[in-house]
Amino acid sequence: MLKHRVIPCLLLQNSGLVKTQKFSNPKYVGDPINTIRIFNEKEVDELLVLDINASKTKNEPNYDLIEEIAGECFMPLCYGGGVTTVEQAKRLFAIGVEKITIQTGALDDLSLVTEIAARSGNQSLVVAIDVKKNLLGQHKLYASATGKTLSQGWLDFLRSAVSAGAGEILVNSVDKDGTLGGMDLALIKSAASVCSIPLIALGGAGSLADIKAAVEAGASAVAAGAFFIYHGPHRAVLITYPKYSDLVALLDF
């Protein structure tokens, strides 16, 4: 097991996989089951699957699809999207999901985090925090379901999520999403400075060097989407994942 996990992040929309850029213009990139089978062959340690429409449309998770995905996964599965109740979380765990990621539900009421953590354990719950820069370049808490920045400070929300019972924090840079241009290291450093639990960084990874830089900035784990999906300057779809030996050489420090 690597000291620092490297986690492919797949985005679901209408039962297919898509990839966004700065949370916009989702482009179809393939079938989730076929993609997961490829990641199985590449011995991925963990997989993050996010339904980007569920909270926007106020729909519950697509349990049938998630169960099919969980059944194909040889690695631990973390799912996020549309989870607003303890009973929904319980149902997801029952069909094979190891961890649940919550964002909209946590923004609405952090007691949901506390209740799920109390029932299923802190280790089973990740709170996702999307952050977007304003015109002045300041990091602001962003609600992906509404597409709006919020007045609450994102670091204050991070602290509150930890206090509420989150087992991990996922910090996602909206501005870096899908760009392959490097991660927001200042964002990661700020999050790491106040986060007392494992921190997953997401958004912008375009190379192994970017992943290493994120870990050096304080991330416990790094998630990436486009880096594992696109290949070449024309962004041809090619599912890839580094060799385990390369990741050990890169991150075991």
What DSSP line would sit under 149-168, residue for residue?
E-SS-HHHHHHHHHHHT-SE
Mean pLDDT for the chain? 96
pLDDT tens figures, 111-147: 999 999 999 999 999 999 999 999 999 999 999 999 9
Task: Quote the pLDDT of residue 253.
Answer: 66
Judged on CB neighbours under 10 Å (0-12, 13-18, 19+), 148 is: exposed
CATH code 3.40.50.1820 for 5-251: no
8 Å CB contact between 180 and 206: yes
pLDDT tens figures, 173-229: 999 999 999 999 999 999 999 999 999 999 999 999 999 999 999 999 999 999 999
8 Å CB contact between 97 and 70: yes
Once rounded to an integer, what is the mean pLDDT over residues 28-32?
A: 96
In angstroms, the Cα distances linking 2 to 62, 170, 205, 232, 252 are: 31, 18, 18, 27, 7
8 Å CB contact between 26 and 44: no
In angstroms, the Cα distances linking 36 to 20, 43, 191 are: 19, 10, 30
Quote the CA–CA distance of 109 and 54 in Å, as a whole number: 17
Which sequence positions are flagged as catalytic?
130
Quote the CA–CA distance of 7 and 221 in Å, as a whole number: 7
Q: What share of the chain is helix, strand, coil (3-state, %, to 5)?
A: 35, 25, 40
pLDDT tens figures, 53-96: 999 999 999 999 999 999 999 999 999 999 999 999 999 999 99
Once rounded to an integer, what is the mean pLDDT over residues 16-22?
A: 97
8 Å CB contact between 106 and 161: yes
Task: Quote the pLDDT of residue 45.
Answer: 87
Domain boundaries, the chain: 5-251
Residue 208's CB: how many other CB atoms inside 10 A?
16
